[in-house]
Amino acid sequence: QVQLVESGGGLVQPGGSLRLSCVPSGSIGRFNVMGWYRQAPGKQRELVATIMYGSANYADSVQGRFTISRDNAKNTVYLQMNSLKPEDTAVYYCGAGRYKIDYWGQGTQVTVSS
C-alpha cells in the first residue's frame, strides 16, 4: 500500500509564495514519475507539473511561476509556487508511479486571497 503525504498548503495573499512537499511511504526511488495536480471547486483535476528522469513538465498556466523538484536523499518531491494568483486556489494532490501516475495523496488546500 503506497501512501503519499502532502504538506505546506495554506492561505496566502496574491503575489505570495508557498512550497508544497510530498513524502511517499517507502523509498521515492520506486517512482520514475512524480507530479502535482490540482482541483478547484466545480472543476476537473488538472496537471500542474510532473518530473520524470529529471525532466520537468508544466502546465502553461504555471510556467515560469512554479518549480517542481525532487530530492531523493530527503525522499521528498516539492512544488515551489511563486507569484500566486487567486486562480491558483485549489486542492493540490501529489501523484507518483513507475511510468505513469498510479498513486495519489489526500491533497492539501491552497487558498490565494487578500
- Judge whether residue 20 has pLDDT over 90: yes
pLDDT at position 52 is: 95
- The arithmetic mean of pLDDT across residues 2-25, rounded, is 97
pLDDT, tens digit, 9 for 90 and up, residues 28-56: 999 999 999 999 999 999 999 999 998 99
Predicted confidence at residue 54, as pLDDT, reads 87
With left for phi above 0 and alpha for psi between -120 and 50, is residue 42 left, alpha or beta? left
In residues, how long is the chain? Answer: 114
Whose grid coordinates read 498556466?
A: 61
pLDDT of residue 113 exceeding 90: yes
Residue 90 has a pLDDT of: 98
* 108, β-bridge pairs: 92
pLDDT digits (tens, 9 = 90+) for 69-97: 999 999 999 999 999 999 999 999 999 99
**Alpha-carbon distance 113 to 53, whole Å?**
35
